[in-house]
Structure 1
């Protein structure tokens, strides 16, 4: 089986390459080979490679930067997924696409389920929602997997930033009123591998949109505390942590205060059990870098 993966160096793509290497021929295309802002190139590449499955692991993920470059964000996050869905439908193969908790405004008092009303607060969330809508408009076999607070041992993410700053500073102020679930990229990749395994075995669940994130909940401050605890266990220097409200840390893009995702449908329909966020953090830290 040939699997086309868009994105080569991203957090999820790197973990996908590890999780799927032994079960399929991977056609991994980075920006140099497949510029998602180039519509004609997308169709050309997919038609030439003729994969059995497409996984779109590439995205414009710079949330604040998207506010100043909406055209690029929409080209990559909205138009490209629609074109990939069209190409997949023409080949009669499935598409797996990753989306985000940022399609919601965070005003709900409990975890979001797949049927809840979307209302993104900024350009990033708006562009990702437009990508979801483009895929759904095409139809065909597809999985849209919404996740949250993705981190790994590679790239730019909260885990690596905190590990560095906690060892550089005496005190670190971290937002405590945004609630969600940190999700290791390895968790996303492992769950995706199981979804593919179910599909190949002829026992897929219904196609459509699902939530896929770490289980449990915490704040960014709580996530930072967990990271700090592991640094202390290693005998490394660690800053004092101070909890602050979002209003004390203004950013160009507004973040949802509630990013919690109800992932029960994924377990019910596809028998995918997701790990607690803290257990996944320990697994990530213990994995080869």
Structure 2
């Protein structure tokens, strides 16, 4: 997909010019693919440039401009720039409100707003928005669509953070749905398995939690690579659980130090994943509604 998007961007740029909306949309796809491949920081500046170009060419509230603005906000949030991300998302939501029809893009923007609120500490507000997003996506696609699994995965995270009931049930529902639709080895299925283990960890035998986490981590290593943000997050969780089992063995402690160093080098020291790993906290994997 990345190769095709590179080709489309270069071809359109050569014929239409670098500032043509179609060229800019292809450039946004390239940057979004970088984010999906784990290159979070590298995706920000190209997406900012596209957003500025589309604002100039099409206007602030054009659907393509709003879509790319949401993508910019996702990259900013995932790199820890949550306040800036929320400002962009709020403006995008205001643009969507001028278009009363419910669309997938509107729901995706709202989902991003929920993630930002939770990142800013308003977990109750995040739950409220995430519940509405689930209802919106079910209205658009029905109950058997991967976006439903993504939304329920994220809702489970916010429920747990808000100390509300139902987190484990939502996480398991999401994992089973993604497994059935996308397959057991899809990165989103594996990431949702990380969250099932995390949601269950206070109430489940620690050896079972460790086995689940290792399975998810090993799958992510195979399918997205050792240094992808999902893999590093899953690895950090594995070493936290193993540390609890072996009570601070030297091998586990050193492995955890390596993961923290890899997170810092790959994502930055201010990235939410890096901070949680450094503080000895579990990392939960929010999923984005991207083309699947």
TM-score by length of 1: 0.32
Query: Greater RCO between the two (CA within 8 Å, min separation 6)?
Result: 1
Instruction: State TM-score, norm by structure 2.
Output: 0.31
Structure holding more strand per residue: 1
Larger helix proportion of the pair: 2
